[in-house]
Amino acid sequence: MTQDQVSGTWTADRRSVLGRVWPAALGVVVAAATAVGLADARDVAPVLAASGLVYLAAAALGRPGAAWLAFGVTFVLIGATKVVDLDPTPWMIGLAVVLVVVGLAAGRRHPPWSLPLQAAAMLVLGAAASVAVRLDATAGGLVVAVGLLGHAAWDVYHHRSGRVVARSLSEFCGVLDVILAVALAVLVLTA
């Protein structure tokens, strides 16, 4: 990992390190951007629903890389709440229903556990996100924090097994989930 003294360009070693760490680095950046200035941990509940949707999209479409496309869609939906009075969670739940129908119609039954398991995870995460915003700030924030920690374990399993989503996505999501969960817990418990 050296820099060429004359041209100032990075060697191939440096580029390969960056190629290996970008998902985790992106997770840190997105978590920090989400947590900065946050006053109510319940505002992060849509991220919980999004975490289930990205996995479901990959399972329903039969393409691990589809999770990144789904992440982009959820990012836009959640970002839209900054300009439009919109709760993105019901929209993500609606997209999840469409994805299950698409997956079943396309015959995404191999392996037989993938689509049903990801649909069940989406159901749990979507329900937790929907319930969290209806609770008081402390309870709702803790539901979101615990849900994100649970999803981080899901990320670790999928990263190690190489199943369903691209490893880069499970790494990114795991880092995002853990950092955000800790930030939310600190916010809630110190308020």
Contacts with 75 (C-beta within 8 Å, 6 or more apart), sequence order? 50
What's the whole-number mean pLDDT along residues 118-129?
Answer: 97
What's the whole-number mean pLDDT along residues 121-138?
Answer: 98
What's the whole-number mean pLDDT along residues 36-41?
Answer: 96
User: What pLDDT does residue 113 have?
Assistant: 85
d(CA 150, CA 124): 11
d(CA 73, CA 76): 5
Q: Domains of the chain: which residue ranges?
A: 22-190
Take residue 151 and report the two structure tokens written for it.
């999803």
User: What pLDDT does residue 107 have?
Assistant: 86
d(CA 153, CA 70): 20
Computed over every residue of the chain, the mean pLDDT equals 92
What's the whole-number mean pLDDT along residues 55-68?
Answer: 96
User: What pLDDT does residue 10 have?
Assistant: 53
User: What pLDDT does residue 4 have?
Assistant: 47
**pLDDT, tens only, 172-190:** 999 999 999 999 999 999 9
Contacts with 32 (C-beta within 8 Å, 6 or more apart), sequence order? 179
Q: Within the chain, how many helices (H) and strands (E) appear?
A: 7, 0
User: What pLDDT does residue 11 have?
Assistant: 58
**pLDDT, tens only, 65-118:** 999 999 999 999 999 998 999 999 999 999 999 999 999 999 876 687 899 999
CA-wise closest residue to 152 among 128, 179, 132: 179
Please report which confidence band the pLDDT of residue 1 belongs to, taking 50, 70 and 90 as the band edges: very low
d(CA 93, CA 102): 14
d(CA 56, CA 169): 13
What's the whole-number mean pLDDT along residues 137-148?
Answer: 98
